[in-house]
C-alpha cells in the first residue's frame, strides 16, 4: 500500500473541520436532486421497487470495490466498521428502499417532502453525534427554512390529506438518511469522503446482491434506453459519485450548517419532476421555491461553533472557535 494513502489511521483527520464545506455540499445536493424523479421514472411494470432500490446499490458497490482495490486503500479499523454499518443502513439500504416503495403510489413532487424535512433531521443528528453547538439563531433560521420547504413541497403535491402508508415510508427514509449523513460526515474526516461511501457500499453488497437476485426471480427487469439511462444515473451518481461531494462537504463542515444546503433540494427536485415527469408546476410553487432558497442562504450564513474535540485539546495550535488545521512543521 502506498504510504500516503488517506485511509491510514493515526495520521490525523483526512478532512479537518474548519474550512468551507458549503460548495461541496451544494454540488452533492445538485446530484441528489434528480434521485426522486429518476426513481419515479424507472419504476413501472418493467422495474420493481426492490430491483431499483437494490440494483442501483449493486452498481455503485461494484464501482466502489474497483476504486478501493485500484487505489489500494487500507481497511477500516475496529469501531469504524460499526459506524460504516450505520452509514450503509441509512443511505445504502434505508433511504433508497423506503423511497422506492413510497414512490410507487405518490408523485415525485410529494416525495420532495422527504427532502424538505431532511436538513433539520440531519442538523439534529449532527449536533447529537458531532458535538456541534450551533447558536440559537441557527435553529430559528433552520426551523423557518424547514417550514418553508414543507409548505413549498405541499403546494406542488396538492397538500396533505392525512398520513398514508407512503408518508410513513418517507418519514422513515428521513430518519435513515439523517443518521447516515451525520455518521458519514464524521467518518469522512477519518477515512476520506469517497472512501467512506465506498466502504459502506462494499459492506452492503451481500444484502444488496441477494435482494437484487430475489427481485429478478419474480420477473426480469426490462426498459427503454432512457429508463436504463436513468437507472444508471441512480447507481453511478445518486449512490456513488454524489456522495463524494456530499460527504466531503459534511466532513469539512460545519456539518449542521452544510446540512441546510438541502433546503434547496425540494426546489430542484420539483423542477426536475416538471421537466422529466411533466408534473404540474405553478407560479406559486416557483415563488415558494425562491423563498426556500432565501431561507437556505440565510441559514448557512449563520456561524456554527464546534465544541472542543480531543484533537483540539491535545494540540494547542488548534483554535477551538475556528478549528482550522495548524500548519505542518
User: pLDDT digit string (tens) for 169-206?
Assistant: 888 888 898 899 889 888 988 898 899 999 999 999 99
Give pLDDT, residue 162: 46
* pLDDT (0 to 100) of residue 186: 87
Instruction: Write the DSSP assignment of 101-138 as a string of letters.
Output: HHTTTS-HHHHHHHHHHHHHHHHHHHHHHH-EE--HHH
Given this model, what pLDDT does residue 270 score?
Answer: 81
Cα separation, 188 vs 65, whole angstroms: 17
Please give the C-alpha separations between residue 275 and each of 34, 52, 106, 208, 293, in angstroms, as whole numbers. 11, 21, 17, 31, 20
Cβ pair 161, 110 in contact under 8 A: no
Please tell me the distance from the alpha carbon of residue 118 to that of residue 174, in angstroms, as a whole number.
5
* Res 18: pLDDT: 57
Cell 451525520 identifies what position? 182
- Within the chain, which residues score under 50 in pLDDT? 1-12, 162-163, 303-329
| Closest among 264, 318, 322 to 22, alpha carbons compared | 264
Which pLDDT value is given to residue 112? 72
Determine the pLDDT at residue 321.
36
Closest CA to 97 of 180, 218, 183, 25: 180
- Given a contact cutoff of 8 angstroms between Cβ atoms, the answer to whether 257 and 305 are in contact is no
Which of the 8 DSSP states describes residue 78?
T
Contact (Cβ atoms closer than 8 angstroms) between residue 273 and residue 108: yes
CA–CA separation, 136 and 142 (whole Å): 10
pLDDT at 274: 84
Query: pLDDT tens-digit profile of 81-126?
Result: 999 999 999 999 998 888 888 888 777 766 776 667 777 777 778 7
The answer to whether residues 202 and 61 touch, using CB atoms and an 8 Å cutoff, is yes
Give residue 284's pLDDT: 66
CA-based torsion, 91, 93, 94, 99: positive or negative: positive
Amino acid at each position: 500500500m502506498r504510504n500516503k494513502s488517506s485511509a491510514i489511521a493515526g495520521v490525523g483527520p483526512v478532512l479537518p473541520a474548519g474550512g468551507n464545506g458549503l460548495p461541496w455540499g451544494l454540488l452533492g445536493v445538485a446530484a441528489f436532486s434528480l434521485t426522486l424523479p429518476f426513481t419515479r421514472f424507472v419504476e413501472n411494470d418493467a422495474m420493481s421497487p426492490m430491483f431499483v432500490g437494490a440494483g442501483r446499490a449493486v452498481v455503485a458497490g461494484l464501482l466502489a470495490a474497483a476504486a478501493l482495490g485500484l487505489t489500494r486503500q487500507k481497511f477500516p479499523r475496529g469501531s469504524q466498521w460499526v459506524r460504516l454499518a450505520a452509514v450503509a443502513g441509512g443511505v445504502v439500504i434505508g433511504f433508497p428502499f423506503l423511497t422506492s416503495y413510497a414512490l410507487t403510489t405518490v408523485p415525485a413532487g410529494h416525495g420532495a417532502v422527504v427532502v424538505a424535512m431532511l436538513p433539520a433531521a440531519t442538523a439534529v443528528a449532527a449536533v447529537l453525534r458531532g458535538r456541534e453547538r450551533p447558536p440559537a439563531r441557527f435553529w430559528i433560521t433552520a426551523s423557518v427554512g424547514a417550514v418553508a420547504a414543507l409548505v413549498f413541497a405541499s403546494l406542488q403535491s396538492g397538500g396533505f390529506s392525512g398520513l398514508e402508508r407512503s408518508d410513513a415510508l418517507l418519514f422513515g427514509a428521513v430518519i435513515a438518511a439523517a443518521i447516515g449523513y451525520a455518521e458519514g460526515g464524521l467518518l469522512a474526516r477519518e477515512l476520506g469522503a469517497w472512501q467512506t461511501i465506498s466502504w459502506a457500499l462494499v459492506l452492503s453488497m451481500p444484502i444488496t446482491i441477494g435482494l437484487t437476485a430475489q427481485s429478478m426471480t419474480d420477473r426480469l427487469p426490462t426498459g427503454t434506453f432512457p429508463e436504463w439511462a436513468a437507472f444508471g444515473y441512480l447507481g453511478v451518481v445518486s449512490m456513488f459519485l454524489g456522495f463524494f461531494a456530499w460527504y466531503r462537504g459534511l466532513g469539512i463542515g460545519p456539518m449542521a450548517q452544510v446540512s441546510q444546503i438541502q433546503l434547496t433540494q425540494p426546489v430542484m427536485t420539483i423542477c426536475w419532476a416538471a421537466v422529466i415527469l411533466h408534473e404540474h408546476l405553478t407560479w406559486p410553487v416557483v415563488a415558494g421555491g425562491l423563498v426556500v432558497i432565501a431561507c437556505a442562504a440565510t441559514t448557512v450564513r449563520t456561524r456554527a461553533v464546534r465544541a472542543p474535540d480531543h484533537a483540539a485539546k491535545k494540540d494547542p495550535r488548534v483554535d477551538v472557535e475556528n478549528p482550522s488545521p495548524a500548519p505542518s512543521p
